Structure 1
Amino acid sequence: MRWHPRRRAPLPGTAPIHEGVNAVHPSTTDSPTPRIAALVHRQRVAVRRVLDGADDRLLVVAGPGPARDTAAALDYARQLAEAAIPYRGQLLVVLCAYPETADADHGRRFLLGALGTGLPQAIRCARPATALHVADLVAYGLVTARPATDPLHWRWAARVPVPVGCENVAGCDVDVAVAAILDANAHRTRLSRFPVAHPAAHLVLRGGPYRPEHDPASTTDALIRLRTAGLPPRLVLAVPGVDDLLRQRGVAVSVARQVAAGQRGVVGTVIGSFLHAGRQSTPVGYGISTSGPCLGLPDTVSLLDTLAIAVERRRLRRR
């Protein structure tokens, strides 16, 4: 399948590509309509079902993360939503693109506009206060583990009503991330009004420069550590944001191979993706990431196809 990104002017009022949701013009409202709120709730339930294994699709979180060019980010969101339509039976694609700014109101307006595509939204918790301000519009969160426990970030992971992926520090062991997950889940339980609260966090496994990138042995070891800690043996594999795009593609293919081989502990993947491949320090080129190296949309669509085939093969193994 060949995909050619198109540069199109952002039209926040454009009709959505699927889900039948009317796009919200970001300059007219900062609050979700009841229809948008209902959509976000359904998206959260869908994400949780995939993470819990009740839905055997694969979670795919794709996007540049923080983006300076919000026009390009909205353009990317529309094209990703269109590209994901053929794979809705195998993949749950989540958009991770949001303004690179501390202005929470601007972030809300952008997310409301992006929700018009019908894609669930994800954010990284770089600024917990800002993240809480937009938490009612997202279906998934990401937070990076730190060498020392950061109570502010983990309390955020416990308070937001969405699943949160906790990444291990690149090149380091997963024990810090596992401890943070236990802390966040315990805090969620204490805050909950219900006897059993939904777990707040799970592991997002990142590779490092001095160890294999998500080979089957590393995946199995991480799952054993989770089980030993009393956590569900489930994890999301993150494709590394490195300048070597060939290495990124190789890791993504390794993820697909493990899924195809029947590895049920792998419930998702995180991919750095934007309209065009690469990274730039200042927003000169349209649709090129300024935060981290990203795959271009053609490579992303090719990867979606590979992952969808892997999910089908995993299903055949279960029959």
Structure 2
Amino acid sequence: MSGNKLENVNVASQETLITPEALKKEMPLSEKAAATVDQGRQAIYDIMDGKDHRLFIVVGPCSIHDLKAAREYAERLKVLADEVSDTLLIVMRVYFEKPRTTVGWKGLINDPHLDDTFDIEQGLHIGRRLLLDIAELGLPTATEALDPISPQYLQDTISWSAIGARTTESQTHREMSSGLSMAIGFKNGTDGSLDVAVNAMKSVSHPHSFLGINQQGQVSIIRTSGNAYGHVVLRGGGGKPNYDSVSVALCEKALEKAGLRKSIMVDCSHANSNKDPGLQPLVMQDISHQILEGNKSIQGLMVESHLNWGNQPIPENLSDMKYGVSITDACIDWDTTEKAIRDMRDKLRDVLPKR
């Protein structure tokens, strides 16, 4: 039997991509953009280490699909970030990759034209361009590290990364995270269990060796030294929220038992808001109250927010798409975002420096 009947039986085609090195040479980080990334990373490290009293808030669209709307959002967010910077470190959520339980749009990198043409090389170009533009504004960015190859193309522009609930248990993602150059948030499991996130934090703090690609696009053995800045992200699960004080206390105990730092981030969306964007500001209020009552472990929040409220399906005619409205999870609008963040800043401005 010939070899071609044994390999790639279900592979329709293969296409060679631009290398990470070539993409970065085409679209380099300026000194200003590099400083934004570096300062954002260091500020998050300092918050986690207790050297910076602020909370960091990862806020922005559930996913990026429209570059014009994303840039407008970033410009507005930069103004707000400067206004509240004495109390809150604002990091823009710039998610290009979306995990799917079955099928559906997988994000800007995978399908930038929203038409199933899967022009991934173009997706990498426009994704990097947007990240560079936002960094030039002086606004740090965050994303979900989903594909194990794409970080080689984009992670030099990112200040914080998340590992999603579906991939926190994945060995591949734990190994990858052990080598990423920023703090990594691990979400609890979709069923609400903490074990997968706690185990992930243990795993990424240790060195790993695994297969990956280098900057020249060659398959390589990647050897890492471990990442000391893994932390848990409470996102609810199993139809129940887990941001309340009892759930947070249980998380603290689990982290302490595992010998891990008590560094907790709360995702105000997903099961914590019962997928109702209107509940996200209420979650933020609850977290503020917990801090006012003495909580010291909650160091970050995540909020899904866009220019306009809600979400929309991808229309057959893309010209019918509503501007500034999410095409994945429903988001709160800009006015609600601005008010919720300002309210949190006003409540916590005096207490955070003392905790």
Band of TM-score, shorter chain: 0.7 to 0.9
For residue 70 of structure 1, report the CA deviation from its aligned partner: 1.4
Q: Which runs of 5+ in 2 are unaligned?
A: 1-22, 97-107, 111-122, 210-222
For residue 260 of structure 1, report the CA deviation from its aligned partner: 2.1
For the 8 Å contact 2:57–2:300, the answer to whether it is kept is: yes
Distance between the aligned counterparts of 1:312 and 1:63, measured in 2? 22
Distance between the aligned counterparts of 1:262 and 1:312, measured in 2? 14
For the 8 Å contact 2:255–2:261, the answer to whether it is kept is: yes
For residue 214 of structure 1, report the CA deviation from its aligned partner: 0.9
1:61 counterpart SS class: strand
Residues 239-288 of structure 1, C-alpha deviations (whole Å, 9 max, x = no match): 02454233222222211211222211000100001111111122611111
90, 93, 97: which one aligns with 1:96: 93
For residue 41 of structure 1, report the CA deviation from its aligned partner: 1.4
Q: Percent identity?
A: 26
Residues 42-100 of structure 1, C-alpha deviations (whole Å, 9 max, x = no match): 22111111122210101000011421111101110111111222211000000012442
2:351 counterpart SS class: helix
Corresponding residue number in structure 1 for 2:53: 56
Corresponding residue number in structure 2 for 1:23: none
Corresponding residue number in structure 2 for 1:294: 331
Query: Aligned in 2, Cα 1:239/1:29: closer, same or farther, shift over 3 Å?
Result: same
Corresponding residue number in structure 1 for 2:246: 217
For residue 140 of structure 1, report the CA deviation from its aligned partner: 0.3
Residues 9-36 of structure 1, C-alpha deviations (whole Å, 9 max, x = no match): xxxxxxxxxxxxxxxxx9x951112332
Moved more, 45-54 or 28-37: 28-37
Match of 2:279, as an amino acid? R
For residue 198 of structure 1, report the CA deviation from its aligned partner: 5.2
Q: Which runs of 5+ in 1 are unaligned?
A: 1-25
Corresponding residue number in structure 1 for 2:145: 125
Structure 1 residue 69 corresponds to structure 2 residue 66: yes
TM-score by length of 2: 0.75
Match of 2:250, as an amino acid? D
Distance between the aligned counterparts of 1:163 and 1:75, measured in 2? 27
For the 8 Å contact 2:242–2:248, the answer to whether it is kept is: no
For the 8 Å contact 1:128–1:156, the answer to whether it is kept is: yes
Match of 1:309, as an amino acid? D
Corresponding residue number in structure 1 for 2:181: 161
Distance between the aligned counterparts of 1:53 and 1:148, measured in 2? 25
Structure 1 residue 178 corresponds to structure 2 residue 186: no
Query: Aligned in 2, Cα 1:47/1:71: closer, same or farther, shift over 3 Å?
Result: same
For residue 188 of structure 1, report the CA deviation from its aligned partner: 6.7
Corresponding residue number in structure 2 for 1:207: 236
For the 8 Å contact 1:188–1:200, the answer to whether it is kept is: no
Q: Which has the higher contact order (CA 8 A, sep 6+)?
A: 1
Corresponding residue number in structure 2 for 1:112: 132
Query: Aligned in 2, Cα 1:223/1:148: closer, same or farther, shift over 3 Å?
Result: closer
For the 8 Å contact 1:261–1:314, the answer to whether it is kept is: no
Corresponding residue number in structure 2 for 1:276: 308
Query: Aligned in 2, Cα 1:158/1:148: closer, same or farther, shift over 3 Å?
Result: closer
Match of 2:207, as an amino acid? H
Match of 2:302, as an amino acid? V
Residues 167-212 of structure 1, C-alpha deviations (whole Å, 9 max, x = no match): 01233211011101111111379833xxxx6514110111135434
Corresponding residue number in structure 2 for 1:309: 346
Corresponding residue number in structure 2 for 1:10: none
For residue 213 of structure 1, report the CA deviation from its aligned partner: 4.0
Match of 2:251, as an amino acid? A
Distance between the aligned counterparts of 1:129 and 1:147, measured in 2? 15
Corresponding residue number in structure 1 for 2:14: none
Distance between the aligned counterparts of 2:242 and 2:165, measured in 1? 18
Query: Aligned in 2, Cα 1:317/1:35: closer, same or farther, shift over 3 Å?
Result: closer
Distance between the aligned counterparts of 1:66 and 1:316, measured in 2? 33
Structure 1 residue 86 corresponds to structure 2 residue 86: no
